[in-house]
Amino acid sequence: MNTRNIFVGGLVASTFALSASLVDAREMSLATYLPASSSFVTGLVEPWAAWINEHANGEFSVQVFAGGTLGRDPNQQDRIVSSGIADMAVIVPGRNLGAYPHYAIFELPGFARSADEGSYAAWQMHLDGTLETGDDLKVLAVWTTDPYIVHTASPLHDIAGIEGLRLRVLGQTQTESVLALGGVPQAVSITETPEAISRGTLDGSLADWAVFDIFHIGEVATNSYTLPMGVLAMSVAMNSNSYDELSPEGQAVLAEAGEVWQAMVIDFYAGERGRIIAEYTANGQVITEASDEAIETLLEATGELAGAARASVGDAVMDAYIARLNEHRAQQN
């Protein structure tokens, strides 16, 4: 037998097998409505996709479609996944509480006091099955933003000073929270908020540090009071059919990717928070830290809101949230 022919034949077969593997590799889309130039995309989403691609062993790859390329409406991001327009997307579960009924608890004021502890609680509750997802999506990662705090044009030194202030809010929970403190909630578009503050038709806005920076709220609201008025839970969700098409090894890569995301998102928020605070304080931003007593006052004032949430999600979910927050705080001490 001609050994040269055997070698050449084997080489050709291997080449065809490799080519078939490359052709068969599935390209999966990861959508976000956030701009491609945003730090969230460049500093978090794209590096995470690159980690997956590095570890997927050629079975599949993830391509990021930012800026609303596959769907611009923030309220419809889960729909573009369930319909198959995108394989994965960054979604805000609180915008569709019918499918994510338990996620409203994260917006309660006075509970999560940082992205670190909010994200820890949300991820652990997801892993142990506490957080209910009513639609047919595979959740790959869950985290929270930093708390929404109070940014005002005039100095605000304590919780009592919120009374009478016209504050821009997002959603029903923030509306009721501001009302409970004697404030006047205003449902103004975030893009119109800086101008409204500048004109004097708003006294300030609730916003986390990222929103504060992206929409230039600090240019007109030069005082920040760190009263934790709730966090916003976010998730990376995947089409269940796309997930089922993967091999057990591919699914294992995505499971590990969820843990990788948790570490990356904490580092991301810490870096962004530090940068934003440093830049704005250098330009005169005054930051007043809310005392433990102020947070207790906040919890008392919004007790009915928390009670309604407990009645809606059940004792097990609410108690699990509190337990996970306390667990994280104990780990930090």
Q: Is 282 exposed, middle or buried (0-12, 13-18, 19+ CB in 10 A)?
A: exposed
Within a domain: 8: no
pLDDT given at position 311 = 96
What pLDDT shows up at residue 134?
63
- Mean of per-residue pLDDT scores for the chain: 91
Q: Looking at the structure, do residues 173 and 190 belong to the same domain, yes or no?
A: yes
What band does 205 get if pLDDT is binned at 50, 70 and 90? very high
CA-closest candidate to residue 166, choices 182, 155, 180? 182
From 182, 187, 184, 175, select the one nearest 203 (Cα to Cα): 184
Over residues 56-64, mean pLDDT: 97
**Mean pLDDT on 211-231:** 96
DSSP classification of residue 287: E
Q: Could you give phi then psi for residue 91, rounded to 5 degrees?
A: -125, 160
116 lies in some domain? no
Give residue 9's pLDDT.
45
What's the pLDDT at 181?
98
C-alpha angle 204-207-211 in degrees, rounded to nearest 5? 120
d(CA 214, CA 103): 24
The residues, ordered by sequence, that sit 6+ positions from 221 with a Cβ below 8 Å of its Cβ are 151, 152, 153, 194, 197, 204, 205, 212
The answer on 156 and 33 residing in a single domain is: no
So what's the pLDDT on residue 16?
38
* 174 and 194 co-located in one domain: yes
Is residue 45 one of the residues assigned to a domain? yes
Per-residue pLDDT tens digits for 267-288 = 999 999 999 999 999 999 999 9
Per-residue pLDDT band at 95 (split at 50, 70, 90): confident
> Within this chain, do residues 243 and 135 fall inside the same structural domain, yes or no?
yes
CB 297 within 8 A of CB 159: yes
- Burial of 64-85, coded b for 16+ CB within 10 Å and e otherwise, reads bbbbbebbeeeebbbbbbbeeb
Mean pLDDT, residues 197-205 = 98
Domain termination residue (choose one: 243, 258, 275): 275
Q: Is the pLDDT of residue 222 over 50?
A: yes
What pLDDT, on a 0 to 100 scale, did the predictor assign at position 22?
41
pLDDT digits (tens, 9 = 90+) for 134-153: 668 999 999 999 999 999 99
Structural domain boundaries enclosing 190: 149-230+284-332
Does residue 74 lie within any of the structural domains?
yes
Shared-domain flag, residues 130 and 255? yes
Q: Per the domain annotation, does 261 fall within a domain? A: yes
Q: Mark whether 62 and 155 lie in a shared domain.
A: no
Nearest-angstrom CA–CA distance, 73 and 52: 26
Query: Which residues 6+ apart lie within 8 Å of 183 measured at CB?
Result: 162, 163, 164, 165, 166, 167
Residues 96 and 75 placed together within one structural domain of the fold? yes
User: Within a domain: residue 260?
Assistant: yes
Tell me the residue type at 14: S
42 and 32: one domain?
A: yes
Q: How many domains does the chain have?
A: 2
- Give residue for tokens 């980690």: 51
Nearest to 184 by CA among 167, 171, 160: 167
The pLDDT score that the predictor gives to residue 135 is 64
Mean pLDDT of 90-113: 90
Count of C-beta atoms within a 10 Å radius of residue 223: 20
Mean pLDDT of 236-261: 97
58 and 139 inside one domain:
yes
Tell me: pLDDT of 128 over 60.
yes
User: Would residue 9 count as lying in a domain?
Assistant: no
**Same domain for 324 and 184?**
yes
* Same domain flag for 93 and 236: yes
Q: What sign has the CA pseudo-torsion 307, 313, 314, 318?
A: negative
Q: How many CB atoms lie within 10 A of CB 164?
A: 10
Q: Is residue 15 part of a domain?
A: no
CATH number at residue 186: 3.40.190.170
- Whether 225 and 298 share a structural domain: yes
Distance between CA atoms of 78 and 137, rounded to whole angstroms?
8
